[in-house]
Amino acid sequence: MSQFKIYGGKKLQGTIEPQGAKNEALQVLCAVLLTSEPVTIHNLPDIVDVNRLIDLLASLGVKVTRHSPHSYTFQADAVDIDYLYSDDFRRKGAALRGSVMIVGPLLTRFGKGYIPKPGGDKIGRRRLDTHFDGFLKLGATLRGNPGENFYGVESNGRLRGTYMLLDEASVTGTANIIMAAVLAEGTTTIYHAACEPYIQQLCRMLNSMGARIEGIGSNLLTIHGVEALQGTTHTCLPDMIEVGSFIGLAAITGSEITIANAGVEHLGQIPTVFRRLGIQLQINGDDIHVPAHEQYEIDTFMDGSIMTISDAPWPGFTPDLLSIVLVTATQARGSVLIHQKMFESRLFFVDKLIDMGAQIILCDPHRATVIGLDRRQPLRPATMSSPDIRAGVSLLIAALSADGVSTIHNIEQIDRGYQNIEHRLRQLGAEIERIG
């Protein structure tokens, strides 16, 4: 297992550009299975999860042409459905969360879709009920044995459009059901749909392939099924989670950083939430300039009560940035309650920050109160291990702000979602070494 050695306490400076969005990439890659024609995708992040999914597609018989690390053409004109029965598939499919989204396209186009219990971060229970309830409503039947951690759906003939109210606005669940419904017979209405920019982008791509999806950006989607889809070219948006990560990094290290081509119009609540921590953000066109902050002061609510930052399905604040907000708050002036509503085990990493000298009270698995140090004392360097992708980057940010040498183990978690991060941060002046 590899490690980062970080020589922290230095101010950084310069311009950094976000990679393409990981969670969008995982959706649109699965969508290539919906047509036999070529689909070209640009701005794919060169990260472990995306490369694993591309490898899985290739194993399924999809022709993969790599133009650059970020641009590929895929052609699913000879899909090998028998691969779904192989041990290799059980292994590769289980390695990442995003692989679950091959089920919808395979089911609707080939009449069967299977998936081993997918991987991804260990951040609490991550159920798949929404996905499978949706497939069943479209007329599929369950096959396989959930006890064996292998789930399958099959259909005899074309899926049939219907009305469905999702039990929760699951991001990958909505994407999976949309992809199944675009080729179903008749009209599907999905209420309580997730509508993250990832989903909006998927819907735009599918419409450019000939799908008929209405209501994009809302929680009520109407999908008129079509017989077949054609090829297209699609470009992924900048990764909003990277944008938020860089804002937090700039503030806590007191660095002046410009985030170029940040996809500002797609960031939703992200700038507002960081501004509530007292961070100034200057938006110049599509760039975000974060000036060097000697201090930043957490706002209170209008009535003077303590600020709470919590996650919610889009257009609420994404859960994937709460760990970054939390670490950024440790050097602010003032206090904030971080309330992680969606995931049960995503805040446990705060014990590492407490070891580094941060003042945090973990109230329960979902809530932590941060009492900002107002830079009275820097965080202390530490040796730690990255429990999940976002906690990993939060610890990396903490280490960059700490005076001295820190080590982070299990950085494979960070590599899942951040492209060549040490190289990009070194260009801002960070001192980071990868060992192993």
Ligand X SMILES: C=C(OP(=O)(O)O)C(=O)O
Residues in contact with ligand UD1 by CB under 6 A are 23, 26, 97-98, 124, 126, 168-173, 313, 318-320, 342-343
Cα distance between residue 205 and residue 236, in whole Å: 10
Q: Does 417 bind ligand X (CB under 6 A)?
A: yes
97 annotated among ligand-binding-site residues: yes
Cα distance between residue 73 and residue 115, in whole Å: 24
Q: Considering the complex, what minimum distance in angstroms separates the CB of residue 14 from ligand UD1?
A: 28
Active site residue 129: no
Q: What does 313 interact with, of ligand UD1, ligand X, none (CB < 5 to 8 A by kind)? A: ligand UD1
Query: Which C-beta is closer to ligand UD1: that of 34 or that of 342?
Result: 342
Query: Which C-beta is closer to ligand X: that of 75 or that of 99?
Result: 99
Q: What does 342 interact with, of ligand X, ligand UD1, none (CB < 5 to 8 A by kind)? A: ligand UD1
The active-site residue, picked from 46, 88, 121, 303, is 121
Query: Which C-beta is closer to ligand UD1: that of 124 or that of 186?
Result: 124
Of 79, 158, 152, the C-alpha closest to 116 is 152
Q: Does 381 bind ligand X (CB under 6 A)?
A: no
Of 187, 186, 228, 180, the C-alpha closest to 202 is 180
Q: What does 238 interact with, of ligand UD1, ligand X, none (CB < 5 to 8 A by kind)? A: none
Q: What does 389 interact with, of ligand UD1, ligand X, none (CB < 5 to 8 A by kind)? A: ligand X
The H-assigned helical ranges of 194-269 are: 197-208, 240-252
Query: Which C-beta is closer to ligand UD1: that of 126 or that of 293?
Result: 126
Helix axes of 129-137 and 103-110: crossing angle, nearest 10 degrees: 20
Q: Considering the complex, what minimum distance in angstroms separates the CB of residue 26 from ligand X?
A: 7
92 annotated among ligand-binding-site residues: no
Q: Considering the complex, what minimum distance in angstroms separates the CB of residue 323 from ligand X?
A: 9
Query: CB-hemisphere CA count at 13 Å for 181?
Result: 31
Q: What does 169 interact with, of ligand X, ligand UD1, none (CB < 5 to 8 A by kind)? A: ligand UD1
Spell out, one character per residue from 82 to 121, where the chain touches ligand X: x when CB under 6 A holds, - when not: ---------------xx---------------------xx
Spell out, one character per residue from 314 to 353, where the chain touches ligand X: x when CB under 6 A holds, - when not: ------x---------------------------------
N-to-C CA span, the chain: 7
Spatial contact of 115 and 103, defined as CB atoms under 8 Å apart:
yes
Q: Considering the complex, what minimum distance in angstroms separates the CB of residue 46 from ligand UD1?
A: 17
Cα-based angle 16, 20, 23 (whole degrees, multiple of 5): 130
Q: Does 194 bind ligand X (CB under 6 A)?
A: no
Residue 377 belongs to what H/E stretch?
none
Neighbours of 156 (CB within 10 A): 8
Q: What does 118 interact with, of ligand X, ligand UD1, none (CB < 5 to 8 A by kind)? A: none
Spatial contact of 310 and 341, defined as CB atoms under 8 Å apart:
yes
Spatial contact of 400 and 431, defined as CB atoms under 8 Å apart:
no
Of 66, 62, 102, the C-alpha closest to 78 is 62
Amino acid at 146: P
320 annotated among ligand-binding-site residues: yes
Query: Which C-beta is closer to ligand X: that of 27 or that of 331?
Result: 27
Which phi and psi angles does 256 have, rounded to 5°?
Answer: -100, 115
Task: Determine which residue in the list 31, 389, 425, 430 makes contact with ligand X, applying CB under 6 A.
Answer: 389
Spatial contact of 307 and 301, defined as CB atoms under 8 Å apart:
yes
137 annotated among ligand-binding-site residues: no
Cα distance between residue 179 and residue 31, in whole Å: 7
Query: Which C-beta is closer to ligand UD1: that of 421 or that of 430?
Result: 421
Q: Which residues contact 413 (CB under 8 A, 6 or more apart)?
A: 121, 386, 387, 388, 389, 391, 392
Q: Considering the complex, what minimum distance in angstroms separates the CB of residue 318 from ligand UD1?
A: 6
Three-class secondary structure of residue 428 per DSSP: coil
Q: Which of residues 224-243 bind ligand X (CB under 6 A)?
A: none
Spell out, one character per residue from 46 to 65, where the chain touches ligand X: x when CB under 6 A holds, - when not: ---x----------------
Query: Which C-beta is closer to ligand UD1: that of 108 or that of 318?
Result: 318
Spatial contact of 191 and 167, defined as CB atoms under 8 Å apart:
no
Neighbours of 191 (CB within 10 A): 15
Residue 235 belongs to what H/E stretch?
strand 232-235
22 annotated among ligand-binding-site residues: yes
Structure tokens at 82: 């028998």
Give the residue numbers annotated as catalytic, written as ranges.
121
Binding-site sequence positions for UDP-N-acetyl-alpha-D-glucosamine: 97, 320, 342
For ligand X, the binding residues (CB under 6 A) are: 22-23, 49, 97-98, 120-121, 320, 389-390, 417
Binding-site sequence positions for phosphoenolpyruvate: 22-23
Binding-site sequence positions: 22-23, 97, 320, 342
